[in-house]
Amino acid sequence: MADTIISNHGSSEKGANPLPANSVIVVLGASGDLAKKKTFPALFGLYRYDLLPKNVKIVGYARSKIEEDDYKKRISAYIKVLDDKVKKQLEEFLSFNTYVSGQYDKDESFQVLTKHIEELEAGATEPHRLFYMALPPNVFTVVAQHLKRNSYPKNGGARIIIEKPFGHDLASSRELQTSLEPIWAEDEIFRIDHYLGKEMVKNILILRFGNEFLGASWNKNHISSVQITFKEPFGTEGRGGYFDQFGIIRDVMQNHLLQVLTMIAMERPVSFSAEDIRDEKVRVLRAMPIIDPKNVIIGQYDKSDDGTKPSYLDDETVPKDSRCATFAAIVTYIKNDRWDGVPFVLKAGKALDGAKVEVRVQFKDVTSGIFKDIPRNELVIRIQPSEAVYLKMNTKLPGLTTKTSVTELDLTYKNRFKDLHIPEAYESLILDAINGDHSNFVRDDELDASWKIFTPLLHYLDENTDIIPAKYPYGSRGPAFLDDFLASYGYVREQNGLYNWPHTSANGKL
Ligand code: BG6
């Protein structure tokens, strides 16, 4: 783009250490859903942009015995082949993918895997291996132990990518951590929270610290509240078995939304290095008191108003008397000079009225006097879908009038950055792990601090069987009292919901 001034402020992690040529990437749980939907499409994306190490080999490992052809079909299932060029690239990509089946708890199986890896490394003296654990939590530790014992190169090095859930409360997270600690060093572990790989989440620090006017107003003197919202338009629909053990708070709030909150609230890091960024994130978390149940509402979706969509309890994989929350709104505070008294509202739900993840920073009222009633400024950072940043602001309505109107400064990515590719979160994170850059991964003390904030609330909800989530219709905004709840923390809803962004014409088109 000719008119874009580009300067590069990438992480400069000390000791960042890219995987060398001839490395081997092993995807454990290669026949599962995560691998099929996210890991392999991301690896292929990196291959297309020539970002994998030269002469890399990728090995899938899982329990199922699958023929190589079926395996390759499986890992390509979610890769979009748009034209002949991509078709050819996919063939090339598949040519260096192989599969080994084996158990997760048997040394012999891992020895077979290691032998296969060594053959691919063809006598390399300092082999490097990246293990991606696309695995259910119950086999996490056992696989990490077996890998270290059987598949860790004697010279050279290894790194391991792990995915949530990292436990279900503070104690179980610490247990997991203690079981990994003696075998994998912290700098070998890459804990994924895929929200940290999303383009707009990675933009938050640039927006805040690269724009003086935003930096200057980013505090309790000017900001009234911050809301971080996650909406999904679908329920669990037959896949509630896993969800029911976790609920919405553990599923997306303690991790994804809290990560976004720390980026919004942290102080300016000394540099963009991984440790400087993560030090500041941990500092914010440590300034957050545990959540007071008085500042929480929970809900569970019911049938849609027209009866066509099922309730959560209609899902056959969910216990009939489940009290699991599929919606929650949680108000948290940060006890530091910058934020004391400002409510940070985390709001998340399944089976709501749309698909959206956004941060809404609502500013305080302007001084009254010359204005009788003028709406507040809001800065909205839309993480997905359709990345955008817009600032709702007041302007004089043009013409022979003194009326004001709400308008917006609008940075919609698809309009402003038409030709640029927005990578998938997993592409970006796997690339960071390949490059040895920890900036966008969760550090052990960060995980601990986040569980400390949420665990008392989670135990309170688990133990008090008389707390029943409020029902809300499938496809609605959430429980009926949500707006009153938000208003009680000073949030003024956009002109009672009348303001719409982006503006649409009568036929709904932009
Ligand atoms: C996952 C949750 O971590 O994040 C899912 O387990 C949720 O329940 C998903 O649907 C949302 O991710 P994304 O990238 O689609 O917003």
Q: Partners of 348 in the beta sheet?
A: 230, 328
* 333: nearest Cα among 341, 325, 322, 321: 341
Q: Is the shortest distance between the CB of 196 and ligand 1 below 6 Å? A: no
Q: How many CA atoms lie within 13 A of 315 on its CB side?
A: 25
Cα(88) to centroid of ligand 1, in Å?
31
Residue 14 has pLDDT above 50, yes or no: no
Q: Residue 268 is inside which H or E element, if any?
A: none
Question: Which numbered atom of ligand 1 lies nearest the CA of 164?
Answer: 3
Q: Is the shortest distance between the CB of 251 and ligand 1 below 6 Å? A: yes
> 321 CB contacts (<8 Å, ≥6 apart)?
none
Please tell me the predicted confidence (pLDDT) of residue 1: 43
Q: Among the residues of 107-193, which ranges form H helices?
A: 107-121, 137-151, 170-180
The fraction of the chain above a pLDDT of 70, given in percent, is 94
CA–CA distance from 400 to each of 252, 396, 397, 403, 462 (Å)?
Answer: 50, 10, 9, 9, 61
Give catalytic status of residue 146 as yes or no: no
Please tell me the predicted confidence (pLDDT) of residue 6: 59
Q: Is 38 within 8 Å of 426 (Cβ atoms)? A: yes
Q: Is the shortest distance between the CB of 252 and ligand 1 below 6 Å? A: yes
Which has the higher per-residue pLDDT, 384 or 239? 384
Q: How many CA atoms lie within 13 A of 453 on its CB side?
A: 28
Q: Is the shortest distance between the CB of 288 and ligand 1 below 6 Å? A: no
Mean pLDDT of 370-384: 91
Q: Is 40 within 8 Å of 27 (Cβ atoms)? A: yes
Question: Which numbered atom of ligand 1 lies nearest the CA of 425?
Answer: 14
Domains annotated on the chain, with CATH: 24-163 (3.40.50.720), 197-364+443-497 (3.30.360.10)
Q: In a mutational test of the pocket of ligand 1, which residue from 166, 196, 251 has the highest number of ligand atoms less than 8 Å from its CB? A: 251
Which residue is listed with tokens 């391991």?
Answer: 160
Q: How confident is the model at residue 503 (pLDDT cuts 50, 70, 90)?
A: low
Question: Which numbered atom of ligand 1 lies nearest the CA of 256?
Answer: 3
User: Using CA positions, which residue lies closest to atom 6 of ligand 1?
Assistant: 251
pLDDT digits (tens, 9 = 90+) for 449-469: 999 999 999 999 999 999 999
Q: Is 330 helix (H, G, I), strand (E, B) or coil?
A: strand
From CA 261, how far away is CA 330, in angstroms rounded? 12
pLDDT digits (tens, 9 = 90+) for 322-331: 999 999 999 9
Whether pTM > 0.85 for this model: the answer is yes
Q: Is the shortest distance between the CB of 199 and ligand 1 below 6 Å? A: no
CA–CA distance from 182 to each of 105, 176, 177 (Å)?
Answer: 18, 11, 9
CA 237 to chain centre: 22
Cα(441) to centroid of ligand 1, in Å?
17
Residue 420 has pLDDT above 60, yes or no: yes
Please tell me the predicted confidence (pLDDT) of residue 373: 81
User: Using CA positions, which residue lies closest to atom 15 of ligand 1?
Assistant: 232
Question: Which numbered atom of ligand 1 lies nearest the CA of 243?
Answer: 8
Cα(252) to centroid of ligand 1, in Å?
7
**Catalytic: which of 116, 256, 438, 459?**
256
Q: How confident is the model at residue 495 (pLDDT cuts 50, 70, 90)?
A: low
pLDDT digits (tens, 9 = 90+) for 219-262: 999 999 999 999 999 999 888 998 999 999 999 999 999 999 99
Mean pLDDT of 291-298: 98
